[in-house]
Amino acid sequence: MKPSHVANAAVPLAIGGWLLLAGGVLSQLGDPSPLVPKEELILHARIAVGFMFAGITLIFGSAIASGACLSYAPKRAVFALLCGFAPMLVLFALALLQQHG
């Protein structure tokens, strides 16, 4: 596969990874109804963990693809890395500010 195609694929991988990761995390927010059976809650939690794992895998796959094509398409590779890791840095900074605020 051409390095330019790998660079082009890295950006959607990062964005898709964040969408899957956010969907998995957000689906676990809130308290379940007491009427929902425990087995259904466990199944829902396992599905959410699957989404989160798939999202993290896509984000790291995007980083690997970006590194592989860095010398051929540096602007797209850096953009893909920013798409993958800039939100992590922002979330980390917000968590630190909230802790000290």
Answer yes or no: is pLDDT of 100 > 80. Answer: no
Residue-wise pLDDT for 90-99, tens only, equals 988 888 888 7
55, 24 Cβ separation under 8 angstroms: yes
Task: Supply the pLDDT for residue 101.
Answer: 59
- Residue 64 CA to residue 51 CA, distance in Å, equals 20
Q: Region 66-71: what's the mean pLDDT?
A: 89
Residue-wise pLDDT for 4-59, tens only, equals 788 889 999 999 999 999 999 999 998 989 999 999 999 999 999 999 999 999 99
Q: Crossing angle, helix 74-100 and helix 3-26, to 10 degrees?
A: 20
- Residue 88 CA to residue 51 CA, distance in Å, equals 17
Task: Supply the pLDDT for residue 49.
Answer: 95
Domain definitions of the chain by residue range: 3-100
What separation, in Å, do the N-terminal and C-terminal C-alpha atoms of the chain show?
49
Closest CA to 63 of 19, 7, 1, 20: 7
Task: Supply the pLDDT for residue 73.
Answer: 86
DSSP 69: T
